[in-house]
Structure 1
């Protein structure tokens, strides 16, 4: 079977009507991986057309874009890219300014380590236990939240917030003295949980200050405007001063 991405009829029609240089992101608003790419695009001041994708009900066109059936999927200059970390590093190389990766090899390692921390460990221990149980299951009609999973996520997020605080006690940003893809990745995950009021901002003032700083950046504006039907965000979500 040939898994090479092909343009479907819908894509061909859209391609004829729009500028081929237009960047399109197939995404879901409360996906931390999609938010990670959205923030990266915004930090690099790249205009993007957002197309919401119900990836749990994949269409043939979507599966042609990404046979894994996952979001995000980025169409850029007639190329179709998938997997959030790979997409962000592609954007970093294609559009190096402003940079989200340091030049120093040790610092680049630290950025990638922290990206993996949030995309793998934090996602498995927290995001999947809170966001997916409380929101995604209802949206996808997959049943009711697992109370044990929710309790586990609520406990583990405390450990991760403490770890963030420990890092930020030593550094201005998560990986060093400048904002990097590590901060983007962490903020993408935490913003999803903040949308459903699952972050205790009283636990660590340093972490709260870091999030307020990154939340105030212009790149965050579209995230703060997100609305998921049936799940209104808390009043503080879009408040830059909490």
Structure 2
């Protein structure tokens, strides 16, 4: 029996977007429940006591499986779902994809998202006042360092981890697309990265992300433009 899948997520959460992109790339249907993670939610916390998104629930006639948070969801889909693999047959490319996954979910999240997304999004959601400009400058400087590194990789590769699309590209697209929603990615300064983003932005799995809108926080004008 094909599982009925429900993804509990927040649309502008990079972690949630990784799960959505992986599900889309594997052409898996799923229902969505949007979680306002900054508000008390006993039902969601019963699924994941950490309170963190995303959470994937699969239901079959044999029962329910709850898979909590990004890495567990990505690994679960790679192990169980049909469709194109998101880790290459090559051991070297698999290792490189996993290295870059760690890069985005730890280093990039700490050095960039914890500043830019906190100041531009979370403060508004939590009503914590205006953005702190020194924190914004530090986040933008860190972002440019990361973008320069990714651009160098893509000058020599078709995709971030090598010759084929992988979970590394899913992670990168998830993180960068949220920053792009806020107009924070200076694409013209990183032509190889911009070409890569054009490719992944045009894939069917990406279309639902381009329709995301957070009430009170409109996207940058170019956000859903494929010819950005």
User: What TM-score comes out, normalization by structure 1 length?
Assistant: 0.89
1:156 equivalent among 139, 142, 159: 142
Aligned counterpart, 1:37: 19
Cα distance, 1:141 vs structure 2: 2.1
Cα-to-partner distance string for 1:75-118 (whole Å, 9 max, x where unaligned) = 01311111201111110110142110112222111111001101
Superposition pairs of residues 101-180 of structure 1, within 5 angstroms: 101-180=87-166
Structure 2: which 5+ residue stretches go unaligned?
Answer: none
Cα-to-partner distance string for 1:43-85 (whole Å, 9 max, x where unaligned) = 0001111111011213211111000011001101311111201
The answer on whether the counterparts of 1:25 and 1:74 sit within 8 Å (CA) in structure 2 is yes
Superposition pairs of residues 59-74 of structure 1, within 5 angstroms: 59-74=41-56
Please identify runs of 4+ aligned residues in structure 1 that moved more than 4 A.
none
Cα distance, 1:164 vs structure 2: 0.6
Alignment CA distance shift 1:20-1:96 (3 Å): closer
User: What TM-score comes out, normalization by structure 2 length?
Assistant: 0.95
The answer on whether the counterparts of 2:115 and 2:138 sit within 8 Å (CA) in structure 1 is yes
Tell me the matched-pair count: 224
1:176 is paired with a residue whose SS is coil
The answer on whether the counterparts of 2:54 and 2:68 sit within 8 Å (CA) in structure 1 is yes
The answer on whether the counterparts of 1:133 and 1:149 sit within 8 Å (CA) in structure 2 is yes
* CA distance in structure 1 between the partners assigned to 2:15 and 2:4 by the alignment: 21
The answer on whether the counterparts of 1:171 and 1:177 sit within 8 Å (CA) in structure 2 is yes
CA RMSD of superposed structures (Å): 1.4
Structure 1: which 5+ residue stretches go unaligned?
Answer: 1-18
* CA distance in structure 1 between the partners assigned to 2:75 and 2:2 by the alignment: 22
Cα distance, 1:146 vs structure 2: 2.3
1:97 is paired with a residue whose SS is coil
Cα distance, 1:221 vs structure 2: 0.4
Cα distance, 1:20 vs structure 2: 8.9
